[in-house]
Structure 1
């Protein structure tokens, strides 16, 4: 029966990555372990701060966009004047009254097939009118997490490739050592 618990699991992990007093480990095993640890430290020490900074920059940019759109855009009740079909979607021309009483007209592109005379709830701002609501904080958080994960992947792939190259070379070396041992063993039996 195998020992269970956190201590036993840590012991298995320690032996699996080579931190034990096993005399059967060869120099090639120790070098592979040292290279793997060095690459892991490189990733954690250099890659993670870069990933954190990328995520932080994406978050800050998203928060600035949230604040700008919250200040400059407002909800309007618009009436559809005309709908033009485009290659992908529709261009909808609408009119709406501003809070000061001034009537404005604008167009936006959408996938929604509106009908002339239809009343829509839209968002107006300095750039015109749109059916896209102002940026929400959940989008900012999602984009920051995505940027951080993308940066971690970008930083981690070269480190992983380097480790796989080290492992492949170590495996080749181990195979040559095994072949040499088998030849030595066979030579001893044939005498």
Structure 2
């Protein structure tokens, strides 16, 4: 047996979509197909517009955050002078020398094991806030863009899919009811003959 060619696959897809003019298709089948096509077209129009709007907003906010953090966060080489165990993590006291030669001290919370005398590369921000994370990287902005785009597609598509499934459920009930009525009619006619 030979595998089906591309024409056979296209023909199957055409028939599966209801584009075959089959006289055995009921009106409810055609209506269901049209509603499904309408919802699909609505999704294909609305989703890209909503996705482009949200992703551009998220991207602009991410780029602004990148620039702000690159301008305000600076790398410091600090020495640990004290560690206090907390319920979750550790409070670490450090000292460092600023770019102008003045000594600074500060504290931050860390999850990593730390000992007194250890040298750490930290990042200081406005008002000498400390942290282990450097300025925001562009990869994080791209990740946020992708996540926002996926969320918009889901938020746009799920209501339309729900409407289609509810409509299909109603069509299936009508289809089964018609099927039962036709079988009952067939049974009555076969008994009367």
Taking structure 1 as the reference length, the TM-score comes to 0.94
The reply on whether 1:156 has 2:157 as its aligned counterpart is yes
Question: SS where residue 82 of structure 2 aligns?
Answer: strand
Count of equivalent residues: 190
Query: What's the counterpart of residue 50 of structure 1?
Result: 50
Give the deviation of 1:3 after TM superposition: 3.1
Query: What's the counterpart of residue 60 of structure 2?
Result: 60
Query: Within 5 Å, which residues of 2 pair with 1:105-116?
Result: 105-116=105-116
Query: What's the counterpart of residue 85 of structure 1?
Result: 85
Give the deviation of 1:40 after TM superposition: 1.2
In 1, Cα distance between equivalents of 2:141 and 2:47? 22
Question: SS where residue 124 of structure 2 aligns?
Answer: strand
In 2, Cα distance between equivalents of 1:63 and 1:14? 46
Question: SS where residue 25 of structure 1 aligns?
Answer: coil
In 2, Cα distance between equivalents of 1:2 and 1:188? 44
Following TM superposition, the consecutive aligned residue runs of length 4 or more in structure 1 with deviations greater than 2 angstroms are 7-11
In 2, Cα distance between equivalents of 1:21 and 1:122? 70
Alpha-carbon RMSD: 1.4
In 1, Cα distance between equivalents of 2:3 and 2:189? 38
Give the deviation of 1:31 after TM superposition: 0.6
Query: Within 5 Å, which residues of 2 pair with 1:170-185?
Result: 170-185=171-186
Query: What's the counterpart of residue 121 of structure 1?
Result: 121
In 1, Cα distance between equivalents of 2:95 and 2:9? 68
What runs of 5+ residues in structure 2 fail to find an aligned partner? none
Give the deviation of 1:112 after TM superposition: 0.9
Residue deviations 1:80-100 (CA, integer Å, cap 9, x gap): 111112221111111111111
Taking structure 2 as the reference length, the TM-score comes to 0.93
In structure 2, relative to structure 1, the CA distance for the partners of 1:2 and 1:19 (3 Å cut) is: farther
Query: What's the counterpart of residue 132 of structure 2?
Result: 131
In 2, Cα distance between equivalents of 1:123 and 1:39? 50
Give the deviation of 1:47 after TM superposition: 2.8
Question: SS where residue 77 of structure 2 aligns?
Answer: strand
In 2, Cα distance between equivalents of 1:84 and 1:17? 67
